[in-house]
A and B are shown apart, each in its own frame.
Chain A
Amino acid sequence: MPDYKWPPKDQRRIIGKPVNRVDGPAKASGRARFSQDVRLPGMLYAALLTSPYAHAKVTDIDTSQAEKSPGVKGIQIISEPGTEIQWAGTEIALVAADTEEHARDGVRKIKVKYEVFNDHFVKEADLATAQKLGRAKPSGEAVTGDPDQAFKDADVISEGEYGIPPITHCCLESHGQVVAFDGEKVEYRPSTQNVSGVGGDLAKGLEIPAANVHVHQDHIGGGFGSKFASDRWGVETAKLSKKVGGKPIRYHHDRRTELEIAGCRPAIYGRFKVGAKKDGTIIAWESKTWATGGFGGGGLNANLLPYVFRDVPNRRFNHSAVSINAGGARAWRAPNHPQVSFLTCSAIEDLAAKLKMDPLEVFLKNLHYTQRPEVYRAQLLKAAEMIGWKSKWHPRGQSGRGPVKTGLGIGIGTWGGMGHNATERVTIHPDGSVVLEIGSQDLGTGTRTIITQTAAESLGLPMKDITLRIGDNRYPRAGASGGSTTVGGTSAATRKATLNALEKLFEAVAPSLGAQPDQLVARDGKIMVKGDSSKSLTWRAACAKLGVTPIEATGSNNRRSPGGLIAGGVGGAQMAEVEVDTETGIVTLKKLAVVQDCGMIINPKTAASQCYGAAIMAICGALYEERILDAATGRFLNAEFDFYKLAGIKDVGQIEVHLDMTPEHDARGVVGLGEPPVIPGIAAIANAVANAIGVRVPRVPLTPDRVLAALERRRA
């Protein structure tokens, strides 16, 4: 068995280099084909009719006019009469037509009668009303240690209320697919994070064998945790395809529907009480929280509180799950973590303010409650250096005269990121060409690039000599891209598969070099005898020895036996510098310092890109993003990008990324990085605003109305 270990840092030639993305030119030039770009011969276009009511019963559907509408080829009823609708945007019927316009016209001609109940509840932040309506389900009290005594022993008790609303994923490419189903077999071109698994999910919905579904996807335009399943619209579009004789049908949500029903990050709100000794040591923690994941309640795991500082000895939790009439939650980049980071770091910052201590001191003082005190200490100090904490930090509210105030804040996070199970197949052809196949997907994170780098490193070839095929469920199976598991899973599988193939190549060429296979190495495009550079063959000459039979080998990552190639568990710290215009309440992010550990880094450029992208998402969540549901109509009023606000490039300030590439982290192997850097930013920005204006703005996003209201309260 080959030695799969990663080469020592000083011997890596391609791993660890900031190479450009292999699919960069295709994406920049528009040649890359996304699911929405797929056009199959004879393809029809579908449009979706959704419910305008948040709570209603479908009593009648009349499709007769729609059937006669020009170009309409078929109609699939999704919510039959009798169906009870629990949120606006629920799928009612799909119309397939020869053009998208005809499909939309057809949708408008379907007549649906509803019994409208008008008793919907959409204001999840309003716990009192939720309780009155019986829409809040308490999950009981959980107590650790003796919080009552600890609060008595505390020198200082800080109390606060914080909340973070639902936000959506805002995938630039909305959910959907092109799908053809002839009643037996399915050609499926979804926008998915789960190439190897989504076919089986669709098959279940269609009640056909999983093997009958062929999935292919070249590129995905964003997923962020919302694109693992085939979804109702996938299954129903396939059924409609069968109805129209197996013709392929293209359906993707329009922006409004995408925001309404394609998933959101759940909200959480809560009241917090933190007890500490004079020196800043936290001894007691109490939180009463409520959250919603949509109509089903659920939502958020409040047991993650206090976040990172898990070992605070005396704790009391109460949590309620609130049911609302709104589209359901889905995993959103680091599920739960940005929310609980914001809640926890806000409570600690407020405690520091009450103690009249520098919050950095308080964070450092309590690191013994975390799982990695030394990592966090180093990260916090690094972030402090990057943001200029020593020279710029001032006690809360003491930010000078003039309407524009500045402030600094801290956030921290943690994540797993252990690689998923994955298998890759490597074929070395006698002409020297190398083909890798793996049923994975590149979410725009650089998966193609890091697989190619890993293979090139292992085979001693330049990256251009590697042909990589991903995005098809006919290739060996790889895990879904969730939980920051892809880089670990695919790089480890690639490492093993390429070295397994190389071992076979060594066996084939060893005789011609007069050596034993285990004396050979692959380097610089050659196969050579270790320690004797005069004995070598070029890669092509070596492969020619294979005659007419290619080498085929596979390699698998198994997370139960990672073999030193991968690991999980990281920390990260971020610090923000903001300016707040106290006459307008407008917050401007000046700088976000991002410090992240992530094990061995295969490509520092794509790794840093993950941090930049994550930081921008955190900035959006801190300052702009919020799902606004209307109490009267139950509608998601800002389900369009003019009032569902996202940062533009001028709004993100300076983002400075420091990847924690110490020898200790490197030795752990590859750890996923997709999610962790999105976690601490909201907390850091919210704390910076509190520091700037001298008062906590209890809810994000930190919009002018909320900032001005907080200032008003401070004056009062």
Chain B
Amino acid sequence: MQAFEYANPKTLQEALGLLGSSWGEADVLAGGTDLLGLMKEYIHTPKRVVNIKGIKELGGIEKTSAGVRIGATVTVAELLSSGLIKSQFPALIQAAQGIASMQIRNMGSIGGDLCQRPRCWYFRSGYGLLAMKDGKSLVANGENRYHAIFGRAPAYFVSASSFGPALIALGAKVKLASQSGTRELPVAEFFVAPATEDDREIALKPNEILTEILVPAETTRNATYEVRQKEALDWPLATASVALKMDGGKVRSAEIVMGHVGPTPVRAPKAARSLTGKTINETVAEKAAATAVKGARPLSQNAYKVQLAKAAVKRALLRAVS
């Protein structure tokens, strides 16, 4: 790990003042479950590390007039034990349960989950976010069994976020603060597919901190289903989160979002629309799932992930209404 300056601010304003104007100057530390690994591997070599765990206003889960506010430093364990979340957002609880490590649940934060870097093994081996060598993608022609089936050149990694798909399905927003003010962004727009090596996979700017997540209070039936090979800590192969607004037993409107299948969480609007007016059962869910994966463009080794994404969508839908 490269030596760095460590800052331990007590207020958000103080923290924002410590950030840089370009990536590489400062990194924000919350749980550290991703950042420390990145630094040990010299993938990130920040000059300054800004610890935000000591900033009170970034914690807490509260009910607001519009829904629920989740502070960025809320840990996975706090989320799991929150009655407020449990009663309304099983999709978030199920996503949290997929993080099968007590250590990561206790340390990892929801803000960190959204901001974590991709797990692409080329990226983690130092070949860059887009993993290009001699003008060619190492991923597209290489070991891509865990990579994107909804990718497009040049980004073939998958978003590693566990909560992203569920938050998008629930219509959540993130609040991003900088010294010049705050802005709100739908989570769906927070994730972006980078076009160049200098881009990031999230809309956060180097001078910003993700401060909170706002989940609207609309009543939905929602669920997440993760396909993981292992029960123990393991990266999902494909996930799906769904949120259904219901009229009695029938779907009024739906949102379906798949995870770990593209450089961002992948929405399936057509599949979601196909559910309108329907009662969810095995056949309906299966059909919607098939629609959801229709646009998939698997790479040389990962066609199997199309089937996994399909299974995840079907099972998430059935779980939401069970």
Contact = CB atoms under 8 A, between A and B. Distances in A.
Interface string B138-167: 100111011000000000000000000000
Given A101-B3, A638-B121, A704-B308, A624 B42 contact: no
A71 to B, nearest CB: 11
Contact of B1 (A52, A104, A633, A705): A104
B301 interface: yes
A692 to B, nearest CB: 16
A651 B122 contact: no
Contacts of B2: 105, 108
A101 B122 CA distance: 24
Interface in A643-688: 643, 645, 647-651
Interface in B201-231: 227, 229-231
B127 A624 contact: no
A630 B142 contact: yes
Contacts of B126: 52
A650 B231 contact: yes
Nearest to A102: B3
A647 B234 CA distance: 10
B311 interface: yes
A624 B230 contact: yes
B274 interface: no
B66 interface: no
A648 to B, nearest CB: 2
A65 to B, nearest CB: 14
Interface size class of A (residues with CB under 8 A): 20 to 34
A156 B2 CA distance: 65
Given A633-B133, A635-B125, A640-B124, A651 B235 contact: no
Interface string A23-59: 0000000000000000000000000000010000000
B6 interface: no
Contacts of B142: 630-633
Contacts of B237: 584, 704
Contacts of B42: 108
A586 interface: yes
Interface in A52-72: 52
Contacts of A211: none
Interface string B106-131: 00000000000001011011110000
B302 interface: yes
A164 B229 CA distance: 19
B229 A628 contact: no
B13 to A, nearest CB: 32
A585 interface: yes
Overall SS of chain B's interface:
loop
Contacts, number: 86
Contacts of B141: 632
A704 B125 CA distance: 24
A437 B154 CA distance: 63
Contacts of A128: none
Interface in B239-255: none
B258 to A, nearest CB: 14
A631 B140 CA distance: 12
B146 A703 contact: no
B304 A585 contact: yes
Contacts of B1: 101, 104
Contacts of A637: 121-122, 125, 143
B230 A704 contact: no
Interface in A676-716: 703-705, 708-709
Residue of B1, B3, B230, B314 with highest tally of chain A CB at under 10 A: B230
Given A105-B2, A635-B125, A648 B146 contact: no
Interface of A: 52, 101, 104-105, 108, 583-586, 623-624, 628, 630-633, 635, 637-638, 640, 642-643, 645, 647-651, 703-705, 708-709
Closest 6 CB pairs of A and B: A648-B232, A650-B231, A705-B304, A637-B121, A583-B311, A708-B304
24 contacts: A52-B126, A108-B42, A583-B311, A584-B237, A624-B229, A624-B230, A631-B142, A632-B142, A633-B125, A633-B133, A642-B235, A643-B235, A645-B229, A645-B234, A648-B100, A648-B231, A651-B232, A704-B227, A704-B304, A705-B145, A705-B301, A705-B302, A705-B304, A708-B304
Given A632-B138, A704-B229, 16 more contacts: A101-B3, A105-B2, A583-B307, A628-B121, A628-B143, A630-B138, A631-B143, A632-B141, A633-B127, A633-B138, A642-B119, A645-B230, A645-B234, A647-B230, A649-B232, A704-B304
